[in-house]
Amino acid sequence: MSTQKVVELPRRTVSSVSPLTGELLREFEQHSDDAVENKIALAAKTFRDYRKVSFAQRAAMMKRAAEILENEKDTLGRMMTQEMGKTLKSAVQEADKCAVGCRFYAENAERFLADEEAKTNAARSFVRYQPLGPVLAVMPWNFPFWQVFRFAAPALMAGNVGLLKHASNVPQCALAIEDIFRRAGFPEGAFQTLLIGPDRVNKIIADRRITAVTLTGSVGAGSSVATAAGKAIKKCVLELGGSDPFIVMPSADLDKAVETAVQARVINNGQSCIAAKRFIVHQQIAEQFEKKFVARMASLKVGDPMDAATDVGPLATEDVLKGLEQQVQKTIEVGARVLLGGKRIDRKGNFYAPTVLADIPQGSPAFDDELFGPVASLYRANDMSEAIEIANNSIFGLGACAWTNDAAERDLFINEIESGLAFINGMVASDARIPFGGVKHSGFGRELSHHGILEFVNVKSICIQEANGGKSRTE
Ligand code: NAP
């Protein structure tokens, strides 16, 4: 037997593999170093003119992108479903949501970035918002269109140009998005896809022509990108993982809370950063909640994501399936109780059974980590205060929701929960009109609303003195 160490080389292809059948759908050669260099050069060249394009012209192109998304949502939806396994109905909705995001920034960007008058000792002072240049976006597969559009729509409307390094398992979606912007009339070079692996990201961040980077993905990837951005002194936005709490108090409408809890856990086959993952229920109603919740989780239809009746499709990749399997297994080994599921489904494809765990020990993967799949963790609390304490005992702080009709509990939750989004009696969701992002290991910076478009602009302060020599220094 050879003792020689096998060195694993980075893959030189990016592939679409069906999560339903394991079949290789398409394979693409990674872009060579020369091709990447040409794309960065084109981005920098395009930016020099594109930054001067009027808001009205940019808006017209962004609205055309919205029309393409709406007109082609069925085809685009099928592509997403084939490539990463989300249900077709949710994929079609995702294309529609991207169109809404494009229109939102087409209609509001000029107002968000209008000059702002300020009062100083100068004759006139104001703030002008200007684009930064080529921005690199490193994106995940779970919402393969929405994650990209919620970066691209504000970035392009602000006058930046974008380079997308999408997740390696969704190259067809990545290329389709580039094509949509091109067909919408954006200049070649305004939005380009790089088919590359993660090992090539840091070199691009270090490139002087790249002005900023945004990453949506796992904590590990975020830490790596933030380190590279810090080293190169570049602006960086991170949208990372979450282990969102879903708190239920006795005054809540229990049936509505249960129905929403199930939906909030299995949305996107359980693979959403803002999916509810930890259900913290008041002792008084815990048994009732548990019974109803388990019954509803057991009734979910798992199957082909193209089928309109399917609630839960396959996980996106075999690695995601294996990772989830290990996390649940370890949690069970250290003492968690399985109320439902607890294993992969014995059939072709990356299927994991809807699962409910209780008595989760501290230090177990279900307690500490993010579970990306249809696995719910149940906890009990004696009051809202204790529920918040359990909720905050996490490295994450992305979304959170509380179900209560008690005003004092509501205020306590709003004030004390450590999260970027806090919803009452409803499911946490992204919406172009409100900022989206987290605290703690869920990242920093914000996407969406006017906050999102301000992340990648130079906030330039301008002071104009009277020509007859007014004082300029205010110290
Ligand atoms: P991931 O493995 O971190 O990948 C995300 C992106 O980062 C991919 O393009 C990936 O490329 C790239 N990447 C991975 N490691 C990297 C590194 N060391 N340096 C540079 N780039 C790197 O995450 P994922 O599995 O695709 O997505 C799931 C995660 O995203 C979950 O944690 C989820 O909560 C989080 N997420 C957060 C939000 C939010 O808004 N907060 C939204 C959606 C998802 P390759 O694919 O080529 O490896």
Mean predicted lDDT score pLDDT of the chain: 96
Please report, for residues 160, 175, 181, the alpha-carbon distance to residue 71 in angstroms, rounded to integers and kept in the order given.
Answer: 26, 18, 14
On the question of pLDDT at 80 being above 80, the answer is: yes
315 Cβ closer than 6 Å to some ligand 1 atom: no
Ligand 1 center to 4 CA (angstroms): 32
User: Is residue 62 within 8 Å of residue 154, measured between CB atoms?
Assistant: no
Question: What pLDDT, on a 0 to 100 scale, did the predictor assign at position 17?
Answer: 98
CB–CB of 441/240 below 8 Å?
Answer: yes
Give yes or no for residue 2 having a pLDDT over 50: no
Q: Does ligand 1 come within 6 angstroms of the Cβ of 165?
A: yes
**349 near 321, Cβ under 8 Å?**
no
Cβ–ligand 1 contact at 239 (below 6 Å): yes
pLDDT tens figures, 17-50: 999 999 999 999 999 999 999 999 999 999 999 9
Number of Cβ within 10 Å of residue 198's Cβ equals 16
Our answer on whether the CB atom of 201 is closer than 6 Å to any ligand 1 atom is yes
Asked whether 198 lines ligand 1 (CB < 6 A), one says: yes
Query: What confidence tens digit (pLDDT) does each residue in 328-364 have?
Result: 999 999 999 999 999 999 999 999 999 999 999 999 9
472 pLDDT above the threshold of 60: no
Residue 6: the pLDDT is: 53
Which atom of ligand 1 sits closest to the CA of residue 166?
A: 9
Ligand 1 pocket test: pick from 11, 28, 142 the residue with the most ligand atoms within 8 Å of its Cβ.
142
- Give distance in angstroms: CA of 27 to centre of ligand 1: 20
Ligand 1 pocket mutation pick from 83, 213, 218, 237 by most atoms within 8 angstroms of CB? 218
268 lines ligand 1 (CB under 6 A): no
Q: What is the CA radius of gyration of the chain?
A: 24
Position 97 pLDDT exceeds 60: yes
Of 83, 94, 178, 239, catalytic: 239
How confident is the model over 192-231, as pLDDT tens digits? 999 999 999 999 999 999 999 999 999 999 999 999 999 9
- What pLDDT is recorded for position 426? 98
Q: Where are the chain's structural domains?
A: 13-240+442-461, 244-424
CATH number belonging to the domain at 13-240+442-461, selected among 3.40.50.2000, 3.30.70.100, 3.40.605.10, 3.30.10.20:
3.40.605.10
370 lines ligand 1 (CB under 6 A): yes
- Give dist(CA 236, CA 227) in Å, integer: 10
pLDDT of residue 3: 45
Q: Average pLDDT in the 111-127 region?
A: 98
- Hey, which residues does 344 pair with through a beta bridge? 352
Among 28, 86, 216, name the best residue to mutate to test ligand 1's pocket (greatest count of ligand atoms within 8 A of Cβ).
Answer: 216
Whether the predicted pLDDT of 7 surpasses 60? no
* Nearest to 43, CA basis, from 164, 190, 166, 170: 190
- Told to judge if 173 belongs to the known catalytic residues of this protein, a careful annotator would answer no
pLDDT at 12: 83
The domain defined by 244-424 folds into Aldehyde Dehydrogenase; Chain A, domain 2 (3.40.309)
Task: For 135-183, write each residue's pLDDT tens digit.
Answer: 999 999 999 999 999 999 999 999 999 999 999 999 999 999 999 999 9
Tell me, what's the pLDDT at 467?
76
CA 472 to centroid of ligand 1, rounded, Å: 48
Tell me the per-residue pLDDT of 438-454, one tens digit each, with 9 for 90 and over. 999 999 999 999 999 99
How many Cα atoms sit within 13 Å of 99 on the Cβ side?
A: 16
**Which residues, in sequence order, are CB contacts of 101 under 8 Å at separation 6+?**
146, 149, 150, 153, 432, 448
CB of residue 167 inside a 6 A radius of ligand 1: yes
- 223 C-alpha vs ligand 1 centroid, how far in Å? 11
Q: CA-to-CA distance for 325 and 352, rounded, in angstroms? A: 8
Banded model confidence at residue 8, pLDDT cuts 50, 70, 90: low
Q: What type of residue is 151?
A: F
- For residues 186-196, average pLDDT: 98
By alpha-carbon position, which residue is closest to atom 39 of ligand 1? 239
- pLDDT at position 169 is 97
- d(Cα 119, Cα 128) in Å, to the nearest integer? 14
Q: How confident is the model at residue 369 (pLDDT cuts 50, 70, 90)?
A: very high
Quick check: helix, strand or coil at residue 268? Answer: helix
Ligand 1 neighbourhood includes 273 CB (under 6 angstroms): yes
Q: Which of 110, 131, 397, 473 is nearest to 245 (CA)?
A: 397
Active site residue 239: yes
Q: Which of 273, 409, 418, 447 is catalytic?
A: 273
Q: How many A from CA of 368 to the centre of ligand 1?
A: 18
